[in-house]
Amino acid sequence: MSDQYSFLNTIHFKYLEFLYKKYKENPNLIEPSWSAFFHGFDFGEKNYKKESINTDKERYKEFLEQKNENIHTEFLVYNLIHAYRSRGHFFTKTNPIRKRRKHFPSLDLKNFGLSEKELDTYFESGKLIGIGNTSLRNIINYLKNIYCGSIGIEYMYISNPRKIQWIEKWFQKEKLQFSTEEKKFFLKKLNEAVAFENFVHTKFIGQKRFSIEGNESTLPALEEMIEYTSNKYLTEDIIIGMSHRGRLNLLSNFFKKNYSQIFSEFQGKEYKEKIFSGDVKYHLGFSKIRKTRKGRYIKINLVPNPSHLESVDAIVEGITRAKIDIIYNNNINSEKVIPVLIHGDAALSGQGIVYEVLQLSKLKGYKTGGTIHIVINNQIGFTTNYTEGRSSIYCTDIAKIVLAPVLHVNADDVESVIKAIHFAVDFRMRYHEDVFIDLLGYRKYGHNEGDEPRFTQPSLYKAISKHPNSYHLYKKKLEGIINKNDIMSMEKEYEKILNGGYDEAKNIKWNILNSFLEEEWKNFPIVYNNEEIFKKVDTRFPIDKIIKISNTIFTLPKKKNFFKKTEYIFQQRLEMIRKKLVDWSMAELLAYGTLLDEGVHIRLSGEDVARGTFSQRHSVIKTEEEEEIILLNNIGKGHIKIYNSPLSEYGVLGFDYGYAMYSPYVLTLWEAQFGDFGNGGQIIIDQYISSGENKWKISNGIVLLLPHGYEGQGPEHSSARVERYLQLCANNNLFVVNCTTPANFYHLLRRQMKLKYRKPLIIFTPKSLLRNTKCLSTIEDLSEGFFQEIFDDTYVMDVNKITRLIFCSGKIYYDLLNKKETLQDDKTALIRIEQIYPLKIKKIQYLLNKYKNKKEIFWVQEEPENMGLWSFILRKLGDIISFRLIAPYECSSPSTGSYPDFLKIQNKILEKAFL
Q: How far apart are CA 215 and CA 880, in angstroms?
A: 59
Q: At 337, phi and psi to the nearest 5?
A: -135, 135
User: pLDDT by residue (tens digit) across 815-845?
Assistant: 999 999 999 999 999 999 999 999 999 999 9
Model pTM score: 0.92
Rg (CA), the chain: 33
Confidence of residue 38 (pLDDT cuts 50, 70, 90): low
User: Which positions ≥6 away from 134 have C-beta within 8 Å?
Assistant: 122, 123, 126
User: pLDDT by residue (tens digit) across 377-427?
Assistant: 999 999 998 889 999 999 999 999 999 999 999 999 999 999 999 999 999
Q: Is the Cβ–Cβ distance between 383 and 101 less than 8 Å?
A: no
The pLDDT > 90 percentage for the chain reads 81
What pLDDT shows up at residue 438?
Answer: 98
Q: How far apart are CA 373 and CA 338, in angstroms?
A: 11
Q: At 146, phi and psi to the nearest 5?
A: -80, -45
Nearest CA to 659 among 691, 627, 684? 684
Element (H, E) at 829: strand 828-833
User: pLDDT by residue (tens digit) across 97-118?
Assistant: 987 778 889 999 999 999 999 9
What pLDDT shows up at residue 24?
Answer: 73
Confidence of residue 607 (pLDDT cuts 50, 70, 90): very high
pLDDT at 874 > cutoff 80: yes
pLDDT, greater one: 206 or 640? 640
What pLDDT shows up at residue 20?
Answer: 67
Q: Which amino acid is at 296?
A: R
Confidence of residue 271 (pLDDT cuts 50, 70, 90): confident
User: pLDDT by residue (tens digit) across 745-756?
Assistant: 999 999 999 999
298-307, 448-457, 486-495: range with lowest mean pLDDT:
448-457
Give the DSSP per-residue string, 473-498. HHHHHTBTTB-HHHHHHHHHHHHHHH
What average pLDDT does range 516-531 have in this prediction?
Answer: 90
226-235, 516-525, 616-625: range with lowest mean pLDDT:
516-525
Confidence of residue 229 (pLDDT cuts 50, 70, 90): very high
What pLDDT shows up at residue 51?
Answer: 38
pLDDT, greater one: 722 or 48? 722
Q: Which amino acid is at 893?
A: S
Residues in the chain: 915
User: pLDDT by residue (tens digit) across 421-432?
Assistant: 999 999 999 999
What average pLDDT does range 59-77 have in this prediction?
Answer: 61
Q: At 613, phi and psi to the nearest 5?
A: -55, -35
Phi-psi region of 791 (alpha: psi -120 to 50; beta: other; left: phi over 0): beta
Q: Is the Cβ–Cβ distance between 643 and 318 less than 8 Å?
A: no
Q: How far apart are CA 109 and CA 114, in angstroms?
A: 5
| Residue 329: how many other CB atoms lie within 10 Å | 9
What pLDDT shows up at residue 14?
Answer: 52
What average pLDDT does range 177-190 have in this prediction?
Answer: 96
pLDDT, greater one: 211 or 604? 604
What average pLDDT does range 55-65 have in this prediction?
Answer: 46
User: pLDDT by residue (tens digit) across 673-720?
Assistant: 999 999 999 999 999 999 999 999 999 999 999 999 999 999 999 999
Confidence of residue 223 (pLDDT cuts 50, 70, 90): very high
User: pLDDT by residue (tens digit) across 368-382?
Assistant: 999 999 999 999 999
Q: How many helices (H) and strands (E) does the chain have?
A: 32, 28
What average pLDDT does range 303-332 have in this prediction?
Answer: 95
Element (H, E) at 193: helix 180-203
Q: How far apart are CA 307 and CA 278, in angstroms?
A: 14
| Residue 161: how many other CB atoms lie within 10 Å | 15
Q: Is the Cβ–Cβ distance between 471 and 190 less than 8 Å?
A: yes
Distances (CA, A) of 9 to 120, 483, 511, 691: 20, 53, 69, 62
Nearest CA to 883 among 875, 895, 894, 893? 875
What pLDDT shows up at residue 195?
Answer: 96
What pLDDT shows up at residue 269?
Answer: 82
Nearest CA to 481 among 220, 183, 177, 175? 183
| Residue 480: how many other CB atoms lie within 10 Å | 7
